[in-house]
Amino acid sequence: MFVKNVGRPTREAYGDEILELGKENPDFYIVDCDIGKSCKTVEFWKQFPRQHVNVGIAEQNACGVAAGLAACGKIPFVTTYAVFGSMRMSEQIRQEICYPKLNVKIACSHGGLTPANDGASHQGIEDMGILRTIPNMTIVNGCDYYSTRKLVRAAAYYQGPVYLRFTRDAVPFVYDETEAFEIGKAKVLKDGSDITIIANGDVMSRAYEAADLLEEKGISVRLLDMHTIKPLDTEAVLDALKKTGRVITVEDHNVINGLGSAVCEVAAEAGTGKVIRIGIQDHFGESAPYEKLLDKNGISVDNIVSKAMELL
Tell me the catalytic residues.
Answer: 59
14, 28, 151, 213 from 227: Cα distances, Å: 15, 23, 9, 23
Q: Are strands 187-190 and 195-199 parallel, antiparallel or unpaired?
A: unpaired
Residue 21: name the closest of 101, 82, 105 by CA: 105
Torsion sign over Cα 262, 263, 268, 270: positive
CA distance 165 to 117: 19
Strands 52-54 and 195-199: unpaired
Q: How far apart are CA 61 and CA 55, in angstroms?
A: 7
Instruction: Return the C-alpha torsion angle 20, 88, 226, 9, nearest 10.
Output: 50
SS3 236: helix
Of 5, 9, 76, the closest CA to residue 40 belongs to 9
